[in-house]
Homo-oligomer: A and B are copies of this chain.
Amino acid sequence: MTEAEKIVKLQMQELGQQARAASRLMASAETSAKNTALLAAMEAIDSMRTALAEANARDLKAGEEKGLDAAMLDRLELTDARIETMLEGLKQVASLADPIGEITDLRYMPSGIQVGRMRVPIGVIGIIYESRPNVTVEAASLCLKSGNATILRGGSEAFYSNQAIAKCIRKGLETAGLPETAVQVVGTTDRLAVGELITMPEYVDVIVPRGGKGLIERISKDAKVAVIKHLDGICHVYIDDGADITKAVNIALNAKTHRYGVCNAMESLLVAESMAETILGQLEQLYNDFDVEIRGCEKTRAIMSEAKPATEEDWNTEYLGPVLSIKVVAGIDEAIEHINTYSSQHTDTIVTEDYSRGRRFLREVDSSSVMINASTRFADGFEYGLGAEIGISTDKIHARGPVGLEGLTSQKFVVLGDGHIRK
């Protein structure tokens, strides 16, 4: 281990120890204290706009000098609108019900004891993200509300912006009488810090990586703690035999064109053979209006004359852009088979009026969200009524689908007796 590695290791261990200690206090923090902290952080951000702008300008300047591309610089910028969204987000998280301490399913057992479950924080959450500084506020506020301590490691390009935001959050915690170390931002841009953060099970309980597939795969591979993974979104819409044409066309259009660069956009459209001529005939013009490039199977190309041939790779690709692969299938069996083979288990929809086939699709498609007659674009924490989301898990362990406050918690058993002993 080099001298530099030793220093980073010590720094991260110190953050970890402080987070672990803070997590104990946060676990029993009162709801009102947590809400006070969130609202005081909101006020701090509002009153420190100048300092935030200066810090952000510093990051932007460094980014330009480093030659970051326009998209990256855009994500980095803390515009007024983004600051408003951050403030709104803090207010909203403060208004959410506190999940912690909720007792459910408290029932009497034959022995006479009452057994139930109480929702508790996980402990310490590590968040690793790329250059969007607004994630600092989103992630910190959700972890805070759910009674966890958090260690945030943002992209080095947003270093000064993140430090300035962290200062506001610390101010909020201080105002509420909560430990300032409940939210810590890693104070070094050294990449070694990430390696440490994901391999300290004694101090960190779970890692939430937010960013590209490469980042998430790297972290999952090396982590020594649980990772709430959100890999890609290869989402499907299947238009079933006898589907309502209007619903089918609307959903197929919305799922592809409402927004392109999002994980819940449709990337592959499957159409039952009996519907292909009608549906694809109508969609051809509509997709054309949106300049969506079509890559189709042979039967698709027989209907949509401008479609390019789809290759095996197309069924495996998350385009995140105005491109769509289309396959004509015999019916629901082939559709489910195709989806369970190529879907990234994010979100898949059937458009159908048939009771039995809808029921089968819900049961047999193995994705984190399965839908009937609704656009894949609804797969989202806000749309699902979770209040907010820290990511969308395509995993099956701990959390699946949009992860809100509940995904950052666990449940312990509570037992109430009256002197009961085991016979």
What residues of chain A have their CB less than 8 Å away from a CB belonging to chain B? 24, 27-28, 101, 107, 109, 111, 113, 115, 118, 120, 122-123, 205-206, 226, 244, 246-247, 250-251, 253-255, 258, 340, 349, 351, 362-364, 366-375, 377-379, 383-385, 396-398, 400-402, 410-422
A310 to B367, CA, bound (A): 54
CB distance from A386 to the nearest CB of B (A): 9
Given A246-B419, A374-B420, A420-B374, are A413 and B113 neighbors across the interface (CB < 8 Å)? no
Count of identical protomers in the assembly = 2
Across the interface, A250 reaches (CB within 8 A) one of B206, B247, B421, namely B421
Q: Is the CB of B373 within 8 A of A247?
A: no
Are the CB atoms of A415 and B370 closer together than 8 Å?
yes
Q: A115-B383, A205-B396, A402-B413 are in contact. List 13 more A-B contacts (CB 8 A).
A: A109-B385, A113-B383, A226-B397, A250-B419, A251-B421, A254-B421, A255-B421, A373-B420, A374-B417, A374-B420, A375-B422, A383-B422, A397-B397
| Residues in chain B near residue A118, CB distance under 8 A | 362-363, 370
B398 touching A113, Cβ below 8 Å: no
Interchain CB contact under 8 A, A413 and B369 = yes
- Provide the bound-state CA to CA distance between A421 and B27, in Å: 40
Partner of A122, one of B369, B383, B396: B396
A122 touches B397 (CB 8 A): yes
A417 engages B371 (CB within 8 Å): yes
Tell which of A109, A374, A414 has the most Cβ of chain B within 10 Å.
Answer: A374
The CA-CA distance from A362 to B412 in the complex, in Å, is 10
Give 8 CB contacts A-B under 8 Å: A101-B363, A115-B383, A120-B366, A369-B414, A371-B414, A374-B421, A400-B413, A401-B412
Contacting pair B377 A422 (CB below 8 A):
yes
Residues from chain B with Cβ under 8 Å of A205 in the complex = 396-397
- What 7 pairs between A and B have smallest CB-CB spacing? A374-B417, A247-B419, A254-B421, A377-B422, A371-B415, A396-B410, A398-B398
- The answer to whether A415 and B369 have CB atoms under 8 Å apart is yes
Given known pairs A364-B27, A378-B111, the reply for A258 and B400 (CB within 8 Å) is no
Q: Once the chains bind, are A414 and B384 in contact (CB under 8 Å)?
A: no
CB distance from A260 to the nearest CB of B (A): 13
Contact with A370, one of B122, B253, B410, B414 (Cβ below 8 angstroms): B414
Residues of B within 8 A of A374 (CB): 113, 415-417, 419-421
Contact indicator B28/A384 (Cβ below 8 Å): no
Task: Determine the chain B residues whose CB is within 8 A of the CB of A122 once the complex forms.
Answer: 396-397
A362 touches B27 (CB 8 A): no
CB-contact partner of A373 in B28, B253, B369, B419, under 8 A: B419
Task: List chain B residues, Cβ under 8 A from A367.
Answer: 412
